[in-house]
Structures are given as C-alpha cells and as structure tokens.
Amino acid sequence: MTVKPFPKTAFKYLIYECILPCKWPFLICMILMFIETNIYNLLNWLIAQLVESLKSGVSIEALHKALWFVGIVAVCEAINIFLRKEAFLYRQKNLYFSVQDRIYGRALSYIFGHSVNYIINKQTGTLLAKTKQINSIQSTFSILLTRFWYWISDIVLKIFLLSFINIWLGVLFLVCSVLVAVVNYYANKASNRLNKMQSKAEALYTGWLVDVISNIRLVKQFNRINYEKKRLYTLLRQFIKIKVSTILVWFSSYTGVSCFIHLCSIMMLMFAVYLWSKSLINVGDIVFVLLTLNTGFMWLSELGINYRQFANNLAYIQAGLEPFYDAHEIEDLPDAKELKVKNAEIEFRNVGFSYSEQKKIFDGFNLRIKGGERVGIVGLSGNGKTTLINLLQRAYDIQSGEILIDGQNIKNVTQASLHQNMAIIPQETVLFHRTLKENIAYGINVSDKKIKQAAKVACADEFIKALPEGYNSIVGERGCKLSGGERQRIAIARAVLRNSPILILDEATSSLDSEAENIVAEAINNLLGNQTVIAIAHRLSTLRKMDRIIYLENGKVVEEGTFNQLAKKKNGKFAKLWKMQQLKERN
Ligand SMILES: Nc1ncnc2c1ncn2[C@@H]1O[C@H](COP(=O)(O)OP(=O)(O)OP(=O)(O)O)[C@@H](O)[C@H]1O
Ligand SMILES: [Mg+2]
C-alpha cells in the first residue's frame, strides 16, 4: 500500500496530519479550556465585588454578603481544580496519545517505503533524529491549546468584562494586547531563524555520531578515534554555538518585551485611577483591573516564551519532515498485482540503466535464464554484477527495457510479492542484534525443529551447538561475534527456510579462506534444489555446478557457456581468469 507523503511545511503538517484527523477531541479540549478561563475570570470578578461590598463598613449585612462571596469563590475554585484535572486527563488520553500514535505509525511506514538506495544515502542517525523531530508534536499541541487558545479566550473575556465596567478600559486593554503581540512577534523573528539553524546542526551532529558509533570497529582498527573526535567536536561546537546565540538573542528580546508590558500595565492602572477620580468606576472595579492586569499581562509576558517554544517546535518539525515529503523513488503501481511464479524464468530485455548520467552500467542488456536453470555470473570488479541483481530485486528502476519473471514485468507487480519469491545470500551477510534462532527464522513463524534442520543443511548446526547459549546466543551488532564463514552459513540457513523459487548468491564465498569456502560451498550445494539460481562469484571453482556461466564486461555478456566450455576456450577471458586462479592456489 502506498503511503502519502507528509505536507511540506510544519504548519500544514500540524493542520492536516495532527489537528484535522483528531478534530473532535481537539474541539472538546478547546471548549474545556474556554470554560476554565471563564471560571477564572468569574473568580476575579467575585473578589472585586467582595472588596466593593466591604467598602460600606462593618455590619451584619456586609458580613453575610462577604461570607456568601467567600462561599461562592470556594465552590468556583473547587470546580476549577476538578475541571483542570479532567481537562488534563482528557487531553493526554484522547488527543496527545492518538496524535502521537498516528504520527509514529505514519512516519515508520513512510521511512520503510523509501528505497534502500535512499536510506543508505542518508545517515541512519540523521534519519533517526528527524523521526524524533517530527514528534515534537505533543508540546506543540500543548502550547496551542493550553497557552495560545487559553490566552486568546482569556484576553477576549477580559476585554469584554473591562468594557462592561468602562468601554475605554476595554479599548485600552485591547490596544495594549495587540501592541504586545506585535512587539513579541518581531522580537522573536531573529531567534526563529536561529532555531531552524539549531535543529539542522543537531541533526547533523547526531547523524555523524551514530555513523561513528556503528563503525566503531573500523575507527579503532585504523586508530582514528582522535580524528573522529575532532570532527564530532567541530560539529558539536557548531551546534552549541548556535544554541547559545539563540538563547542570547531570545533573552534580549524577552527583556525588551517585558519592559514594554510593564509600561502598558502602568498606563492602564493610571487610566483606571483617573476614571475613579472622575467617579466613573468604583474601588471594586479598580481591584478587578488590578487582578486582570496581573493575570492578563502575565500571560502576555509568557507569550514570548511560548511563541519561542512554538516556533522552535515548528522549526524542529520542519527540519524533521524532509524524509517524509521526499517522494518514494520506487512505488507499486496503483493496479500492481501479486507476482505469480511457476517456472521462475527470468528475462532481462533490452535493459538500460545508469546510476548517474555520466556512466551507463547497462545499455540494451539481454539475458534469459530458464526456469530452474543455474547461472553463474563472472566478471571483473565494477562491471555491474551486483547491480544486475539489484535491478532484479527492483532496488532501482531501470531507465529502459523490461525485466520479466515468468513473463510478468517486475514493474507491474507488488514489491512485496517480488521479494517474497527471492532468497538472497549477499556478499556482506547482515545479522540483527538478536538470537541466532531469530536471525535464521527472520520473521517466519517456524518450529525450533525446522530451524535446526535448516541450520544442518547450511552446515551451521555444529558451530551453533558449540556456543554456550546455542541457538539462543545473541550474535552482537551486525553479527560481529561470528566469523565471516559462520555468518554466511546463517544466511544460507535463512535462505533454506525461505525456500523461494529464485535463489541469488552474491559472491557468497569470496571473503573466506579455502577451508571455510569448502564448508560454505558444501552448504550451498545442500541448498540447491530445483529453483532458478543466479550465483555471482570471483572464486570460479564455486561455479562448477552451474548449468551456464556468463562473463560480464562493461554491462555486456561477452562470453557464455558451461564451465568446461569456457575454461577450455582459447584466449577466452574466463579461461584466462581460471588459469590465474589455479596458479595462485597452487602457489
Ligand atoms: N549506489 C550506487 N550509486 C552509484 N554508483 C554505483 C552504485 N552502486 C554501484 N555503483 C557503480 O556501478 C558500477 C558497477 O557496480 P557493481 O557493484 O554492480 O559491480 P560488481 O560487478 O558487483 O563489482 P564487484 O565484483 O566488485 O562486486 C561500479 O562502477 C560502481 O561504482
Ligand atoms: Mg558486487
């Protein structure tokens, strides 16, 4: 199933990916917030009325009135506390959780939908950092609802209540609020730009760090710890430098905005006193103005911090979105069918392919492999052997021609069904940091007995049994606790269990010494059944059992025939290579 890319801007992402899919919980949260602000302002109003009622002096009547007010204030406060708790729980459960759940799910599906080429071209760490960045959504939501929305409803209500006391008080408060918001916006513009730079610098540093840690063996072998440290420090320093500048710029703007807010408060208070002196408002009203200024402008002074956090989050999300709006390079067609394999006949028809414009790897390449045929591919390094099997797996799309399996163009079938029908033993066996059992079964639900049988076929049972934890041994990151030959045999056992109609071996024995090579070659022979086999090899001796061998040069088949035919061919390229290898082995 194709997954839609994410919108390109953080703001659209917020609207279309987060708010709209959860519009009802979002609306309910807004209403709950609105009720909260109402109660809060009602409390201020009641306190102001209480002060006003006390003004008339001590009497039984005034005392009764005051007690009534205190009682109502107490009840309102209790309701407020209860409501705040309920609103908080509702937000967490029905909004934040479901939004995060959705976003994580979408992000994972989208990342996995990218081609291998895309993923290997990005640093894993950078991808990880970016996935994390788009999930700054919870705090973004929290700011939107519990800050911006709360603040807007609060200000609107305060303007309404102040206007009720005296229209000019309301107008002045409105003007001050707008001015503070505008000043805030401009004061934060500079730090917003820095925020974006900061999140980019962080992703770069994290990407580099993960790359170095995952290649730590190489780093140590080449004694390059200081070299890597130096590069990491440079990136880290860049990141910290931007971070510090962001904080400094923000702090100066925050101080400026705070001064402006205080100025507005003093102005409003002076105006309230003036109205009182003209007997246009009473003492209770001045108390209300005081309380309003206190809470209202407190929000306004926090607006800067919240806006900064919000802008920071948006910048984070924006930087994190990149792999999520890059279109998938290889997609299933909308009407893609399942690949149906009967004979497993493979045909490359007029295939043209290049990684870049400068160099064509294949140009009009033709090769037909009959169902059940075993074909060995030979050729000097860099002549396109691995590329050929990558194309068969549709790791890249070809630029011209067709690749057919049992007459079905691999472009017209689903990638899942294509991969399902192939078992691959790659040159570099990759194992997960999991048990040997899990690595062999890899996602197939089979009994321990079957796993052992497969390991026996792959000549791996003996060495696995000798390990302290046997089949439950953890193999270390990328299988680092096993030897090259052992890793290969695990890969072969995996292929045995998979039992696919097409088997691909990419130089399965090239990195091994003769003894290990013999064991692996035996394992491969055990594996071979009646499936179609494509085997790439530098060690030609491993190809003796193949029905046909093709010699690839510059993306063209320059020789083909059985092992013996090619080995005997006068001035043949294969024969020359074979002679050289025999000589080397004898020496
Ligand atoms: N992902 C890639 N992007 C760009 N160029 C690539 C990529 N992979 C391979 N190439 C180039 O394509 C050419 C063919 O590479 P390929 O890996 O198919 O060779 P090969 O025959 O398998 O070599 P070897 O015997 O060394 O494994 C090489 O010149 C290589 O540099
Ligand atoms: Mg190769």
With a 6 Å cutoff on the Cβ, whether 384 touches ligand 1 is yes
Most confident segment among 137-141, 302-306, 344-348: 344-348
| Radius of gyration in angstroms for the set of CA atoms belonging to the chain, rounded to a whole number | 36
Q: Which atom of ligand 1 is nearest to the CA of 117?
A: 1
3-state secondary structure of 259: helix
505 forms beta bridges with: 425, 535
Q: How far does the centroid of ligand 2 lie from the alpha carbon of residue 390, in Å?
A: 10
The protein residue with its alpha carbon nearest to ligand 1, atom 8, reads 387
Looking at the predicted structure, is the pLDDT value of residue 520 above 80? no
**Mean of per-residue pLDDT scores for the chain:** 84
With a 6 Å cutoff on the Cβ, whether 355 touches ligand 1 is yes
pLDDT tens digits for 558-574? 999 999 898 888 888 88
Q: How far does the centroid of ligand 1 lie from the alpha carbon of residue 385, in Å?
A: 8
SS3 content of the chain, % helix, strand, coil (to 5): 65, 10, 25
d(CA 108, CA 477) in angstroms, rounded, equals 22
pLDDT tens digits for 466-519? 888 888 888 776 666 777 788 888 888 888 888 889 999 887 665 556 666 667
Percent of the chain having pLDDT more than 90?
22
Q: How far does the centroid of ligand 2 lie from the alpha carbon of residue 144, in Å?
A: 53
Return the ∠ at Cα 294 (arms to 291 and 298), rounded to 5°.
Answer: 145
Q: How far does the centroid of ligand 1 lie from the alpha carbon of residue 387, in Å?
A: 6
DSSP class of residue 146 equals: I
Looking at the predicted structure, is the pLDDT value of residue 16 above 70? yes
423 forms beta bridges with: 503
Is the CB of residue 430 less than 8 Å from the CB of residue 373?
A: no
The protein residue with its alpha carbon nearest to ligand 1, atom 11, reads 382
Please give the residue that has the higher pLDDT: either 225 or 376.
376
Q: How far does the centroid of ligand 2 lie from the alpha carbon of residue 386, in Å?
A: 4
Distances (CA, A) of 429 to 1, 30, 425, 525, 536: 29, 54, 7, 18, 15
Q: Residue 515 has what pLDDT?
A: 64
Is the CB of residue 253 less than 8 Å from the CB of residue 304?
A: yes
Q: What is the dihedral of CA 502, 508, 510, 512, to 10 degrees?
A: -160
Is the CB of residue 207 less than 8 Å from the CB of residue 129?
A: yes
Looking up tokens 């993306």 gives 555
d(CA 522, CA 425) in angstroms, rounded, equals 15
Please give the residue that has the higher pLDDT: either 105 or 527.
105
E-strand stretches of 298-437 = 346-353, 362-369, 374-378, 400-405, 408-409, 422-425
Distances (CA, A) of 483 to 226, 306, 461, 480, 488: 28, 55, 15, 8, 9
Q: Residues 405-426: what's their mean pLDDT? A: 90
Which tokens in the block code for residue 572?
Answer: 């043949």
Q: Residue 412 has what pLDDT?
A: 93
Looking at the predicted structure, is the pLDDT value of residue 250 above 90? no
Q: Which atom of ligand 1 is nearest to the CA of 387?
A: 18
pLDDT tens digits for 269-309? 999 999 999 999 988 899 999 888 877 767 776 776 787 78
Is the CB of residue 5 less than 8 Å from the CB of residue 110?
A: yes
pLDDT tens digits for 182-203? 887 787 777 777 888 888 888 8
Query: Binning pLDDT at 50, 70 and 90, where does residue 353 land?
Result: very high
- DSSP character string of 166-184: -HHHHHHHHHHHHHHHHHH
Residues sharing a CB contact under 8 Å with residue 454, sequence separation 6 or more, in sequence order: 440, 493, 494, 496, 497
Instruction: Spell out the domains of the chain, with CATH numbers in brackets.
Output: 10-325 (1.20.1560.10)
With a 6 Å cutoff on the Cβ, whether 485 touches ligand 1 is no
pLDDT tens digits for 378-391? 988 888 898 999 99
Distances (CA, A) of 394 to 98, 413, 477, 583: 35, 10, 27, 38
With a 6 Å cutoff on the Cβ, whether 381 touches ligand 1 is yes
Q: Residue 351 has what pLDDT?
A: 93
With a 6 Å cutoff on the Cβ, whether 383 touches ligand 1 is yes
Q: Look at residues 7, 3, 87 and name the one whose alpha carbon lies nearest to residue 314.
A: 7
Looking at the predicted structure, is the pLDDT value of residue 37 above 80? yes
Which tokens in the block code for residue 165?
Answer: 């006391």
Q: How far does the centroid of ligand 1 lie from the alpha carbon of residue 428, in Å?
A: 14
d(CA 6, CA 194) in angstroms, rounded, equals 24
Q: How far does the centroid of ligand 1 lie from the alpha carbon of residue 391, in Å?
A: 12
Tell me the CA end-to-end span of the chain in Å, nearest whole number. 56
Looking up tokens 């001064």 gives 259
- How would you label 258-274 residue by residue, b for 16+ Cβ within 10 Å and e otherwise? eebbeebbeebeebbee
With a 6 Å cutoff on the Cβ, whether 115 touches ligand 1 is no
Pocket mutation for ligand 1, best pick of 383, 510, 550 (most atoms within 8 Å of C-beta)? 383
3-state secondary structure of 346: strand
d(CA 557, CA 376) in angstroms, rounded, equals 12
Q: Residue 480 has what pLDDT?
A: 63
pLDDT tens digits for 75-96? 988 988 998 899 889 988 888 8
Pocket mutation for ligand 1, best pick of 116, 358, 387, 388 (most atoms within 8 Å of C-beta)? 387
